[in-house]
A and B are shown apart, each in its own frame.
Chain A
Amino acid sequence: AQSVTQLGSHVSVSEGALVLLRCNYSSSVPPYLFWYVQYPNQGLQLLLKYTSAATLVKGINGFEAEFKKSETSFHLTKPSAHMSDAAEYFCAVITSGGSYIPTFGRGTSLIVHP
């Protein structure tokens, strides 16, 4: 079975500050991990993905995430927040060799203050 836990339903940062959104996963086999972003009244857009290659993954809009097997984590970071980063962020896991149906975390709302 696979599952995803996103710690913190809301994260609030100041513009220019470091962004850290946490994601921990549970999977009995090597996972594929994803971060998606959702702006109000829109679908989801892929930020980045880990598929068993490099553990540090760089995505769009300056975001990156590091896969840490020992910690079963895939936290999303960005060095300097912009106002335009305010959105809902979802972590998702797919178990390789399984059904390829992703399991999504509950989401983290990123709030950026001027």
Chain B
Amino acid sequence: GAVVSQHPSWVICKSGTSVKIECRSLDFQATTMFWYRQFPKQSLMLMATSNEGSKATYEQGVEKDKFLINHASLTLSTLTVTSAHPEDSSFYICSATLSRANTGELFFGEGSRLTVL
């Protein structure tokens, strides 16, 4: 199956700093990537949808200036948490889909645990 790699798996940073999380599709070209945030014992909350070469579409309530998403190529999307604060601590997961023509199956990264001190 298709493989999505997410890096880093764990990151601890000081309040006020910025953190970048990378999401790569290793063996396929991902036309669309999704970024989710997951709180403990809860479901996935869709943050934004990114398509290669265009601006990300953010879900209501997600600050686009806070969570910068770049999808510069068909195999790489990045999420940058700017000026991180403790309330941004969470588990962030990316996923990718092959194209709209398929059945919509998502391929997930391993997730990134962000802890802001």
Judge whether A63 is part of the interface by a CB distance below 8 angstroms.
Answer: no
Measured CB to CB, the closest approach of chain B to A1, in angstroms, equals: 15
Contact with A along B77-113 (1 / 0, CB 8 A): 0000000000000010101010010011111111101
Indicate if the CB atoms of B103 and A90 lie closer than 8 Å: no
Contact with A along B46-72 (1 / 0, CB 8 A): 100100000000000000000000000
Interface residues of A in 95-114 (CB under 8 A from B): 100-102, 104-107, 109
Which residue of chain A has the shortest Cβ distance to B102 in the bound complex? A100
Interfacial chain B residues near A106, Cβ < 8 Å? 42-43
Give Cα A49–Cα B44 distance, bound, in whole angstroms.
Answer: 18
Interfacial chain A residues near B46, Cβ < 8 Å? 101
Measured CB to CB, the closest approach of chain A to B38, in angstroms, equals: 9
Cβ-neighbour of B105 out of A49, A90, A101 (below 8 A): A49
Interface range, B side: 20 to 34
Indicate if the CB atoms of B103 and A51 lie closer than 8 Å: yes
Judge whether B35 is part of the interface by a CB distance below 8 angstroms.
Answer: no
Interfacial chain B residues near A44, Cβ < 8 Å? 44, 93, 95, 106, 108
Which residue of chain A has the shortest Cβ distance to B94 in the bound complex? A43
Interfacial chain A residues near B100, Cβ < 8 Å? 100
Indicate if the CB atoms of B43 and A43 lie closer than 8 Å: no
Give Cα A102–Cα B43 distance, bound, in whole angstroms.
Answer: 12
Cβ-neighbour of B110 out of A42, A102, A104 (below 8 A): A42
Measured CB to CB, the closest approach of chain A to B114, in angstroms, equals: 12
Contact A107:B43 (CB < 8 A) given known A43-B108, A94-B104, A101-B34: yes
Interface residues of A in 7-47 (CB under 8 A from B): 32, 34, 36, 41-46
Which residue of chain B has the shortest Cβ distance to A9 in the bound complex? B41
Contact A90:B97 (CB < 8 A) given known A32-B104, A46-B105: no
Interfacial chain B residues near A36, Cβ < 8 Å? 106, 108
